[in-house]
Structures are given as C-alpha cells and as structure tokens.
Structure 1
C-alpha cells in the first residue's frame, strides 16, 4: 500500500523572518521532489486536522499550553526563546503540525495504512514539556506518542530521532516513561548541547563528533539501536526524520548521504514489519 503523506497549507504560513533556515521553502522542496519524481501519483496525500488542547496536555504542561494560546499575537511577532519566534499564524501551523502526527497514528493503528509521513512545520523535537525552543513550539512526535499510548493503550512505542541535533525536548518529556524507547543520534558538541551524559535504560543517545561519515554512523546505529529496538519489540515506531546531517547541509558537520537515510529507513521498516 502506498504511503500516506499528511500536511496542511497552514504550515506554510509560520514565518521566521528573511533568510531563516526553518522556512516555508522546506515544504516546497518536498512537494517539488514528489512531482519531479512522479511519486505524487503514487502516494496518498491528506490534509491534517489540528490537534486539540487535550492532546497537547498529554505531552506538555497545561500551564505551558494555555500560555502559548494566550500569547499568540494577532499582529507582529513575539519571541518565545532567543531562537523561537511566534507570529499571527504560527499557532495554527503548530496545531496542524501536531495534528498530522495524531492523524498518522490513527491511520496506522486503525489499519488504514501501515506507514505515514508528516510533511509539516514548525518542527518539534526541541520543545520540552514546559518550554518552546530551537524553532519548536510543540513537540509533535511526543504528542503523537502520547496519543498512541493513551488512545490505543500501547505499552511499547519506539521513537527514533536521527536529526543532527539532540532531541532534547523528546528526551525531557519521556525521561521517566519506560513505555517509550527513545533513540537519538546527533553531532556533539552542537546545539542544544545536551544528551551526551544521559544515563537511562530506555534512552539510547549516540553523540558523535563533527565529520561523522555514513559508515561510522551506521556502525553505531547497528551496534546500539537496532538490537535494542528489536529487544524492546515496539508496537509502534515513530521517527523524527531530520535530514540536516546530510553532507550538504551547512548548519552542521555530519557527512551523511541519501543512501544512509535509505538504509536507516529500510532497517526500521524491517523492525516494524517484525514487531508492529
């Protein structure tokens, strides 16, 4: 069955300012490639629905969520932290970004499709339970995982985060939740300068030096992640798919290539087919 892609036009209207790396053109690049490759006619594309406050409360503190709604500007912009901006259309974009993860979980758990991809922004994995940071307002992947745990009474959910930056927000939210196995690989030292000292049985961090090539990254993933995920036997696998570890990304110093991302996707699909 072809993969379902969830997105929403509102995700284009969250503005970070001129020349900001987290920009609407990121979504345009995905859509352009779908058209260029011919995959537009193969995949199923669906509009995401917005996440409710109740869904957000599962991963974020009620006070944080309520204040985020109260702070949302009707004009101009505000700064939620030194890196994270919020404009008049940011909250709606963030709600649809989070909602896409809920839609994806629902589709997979109800058996409508076995796999889904969320093409959304703003991103989420730096947002902690109580704080926006690193361009992230809401932690999309954590909200999706909490939805799976609570709505479908799952007892084992794996989250794999191969963004070049540590998924500190996701770790913060699930640090005391053994039903979630969290695996994060990242360049270290690099923003947000966390994760290297984590000591937790259900959190497997791979802090790797700048210049890391695909062979070294695959070796670490094969040694540390794949056996742990297999032993955990997840009922659902969620992926924070950050591709900024690519060799051509100028904001970091990993040297991954397309074939490395294809490799990890294949490995995770095999684990999903076995356990989920």
Structure 2
C-alpha cells in the first residue's frame, strides 16, 4: 500500500511504515490543491491538521483504505463521509495522553503558585512574597468533563496531590477507578473547585462551556482547557472572570488560534485575558513533547498493522 503523509512528522514514522509493509510518500510541504490532484494514487493518508479531510478531498481518493490522524482530535475529518466509504480511521490519543496530563498539572501548579508573575517580578528586582502567596491543590475537587484517554491520564497524575476527582462523560459509564469517581453534571456543578475539559470538538461541544454553563457552578472555579479552544468562547470566559465565577484559567487552546485573524470582539476579549495575572497560556502544546512525537507514530503504525496484517 502507498501512503501519502501531508503534515510534518517525526522521522521515525517512515521506517516504521516501511517495516509494516506500507510505502510512505512524505510531503510535509504539500498544498491542498496538489493533494486533491494526487489523492487517487494512494491507499492511505497520514494527517495532522493541515487541511480539512472533507467530502471534496475524500471523493478524489478513490483507492483510500485508511486515514491515520497523528494525534487525538478528529474535528478536521468528515467522519460520516469516511464511514460511508468504509475507510478505516485511526487516531492516537494513547500516544500523547501522558504528555497532556503532565502539562495540565504543570499549568495548574503555575497558576496556583503565581509562578509566571513571580518570575517576571524577580527578574525586575521586585521581591513580593505576600503578593505571590499561593494556594494548594491538596484537598481540591477536580471536575473532569470527558473521561477518555486524556481525562483518565490527568486523573491519575492528580492522585499524588490529595485531590478528589469527579468525572462526567455523556458517552461512557462505569469508569470509576482508583483515580476518578464517576459523577453527574449536577454533582460537578455542586462540588467542583477546578474544571478540566477533555472532550473533542463536535457540533455538540462547540461553545458548550458558555456563560450559562459556567453560572451553574455553586463555587467560584478555576478552569483548565487542554482540549479544544472552540469549546470555550473567549467572550464567555471573559465574562466569567469579570463576574468572579471563574477565579483563574489555564489555557493551552483558544477559540481562534490564528491570532492575526481575531475578530474585533475576539481581540478585545483576548487582550483582557492577556492583561490578567489570573490567566496563563501555552500554544496548543499540551500533548506535544519529544516523547509523544514518537509514541504517536508507534500507536498509529501498530493499529494499522493490526488492521491490515494481523487480522
């Protein structure tokens, strides 16, 4: 089988594919128009998020047997079209769950202990101990929304901090274990101190965590988002910070990550978040470590081998 790789990948992928009996064609700089023109030559495609794999593109790929998404999210892929064509679709949440879990804990610790502000102040010869007094994770209740690979890995990392972890997942039941207690949304609204999001971007979750949703929490909460930015509109987060319903936020993702294309309203809301010491950011790298770069490849190739060569 021939496989077109349209995004930049760790160099380990090519020998892994060849060893599995799949011939890779690595074109990380390819443009969409060229993909459309040559898609009919390949049985497989490996993608990240360069371009939408919609009906226009998939219809050109007449020989396509599989799509491998190097990562977890499938929001750039028209899953219904893929299913109708009986194309195998594999992704690799197992590959970056550990990276994401560690990053999430790191963001919370940085936020709770004012590490970014304290570092900036000390560099400017400001020695303010009282102004940078932190708060502890110990004893806090974490409310997870989404308890798949990412949510479960994050819950496991929190186990050493003495936290109570409640998990809600609309599409999963019976997942309580040593690290997370299955809960309803109402229970999360009552008990959560820190809300952490681990759901994919779908028509159901887009703009789900809005002002109305956030207003339902009994306590003022902290918000951690390492899933998809479009789930939490900038406007809703700003309003919740202004009202005090959200005391602080750690954001690895944003509603619009192409910062030069923000709308006028998004610019206003983004600048408000930027000016706040109670908000910290990272550029969508929570699952993006040197180790996960390789683990993702291993996960994808093992799944493809299972489908085509071990079945």
TM-score by length of 1: 0.33
TM-score by length of 2: 0.30
**Larger CA Rg, structure 1 vs 2:** 2
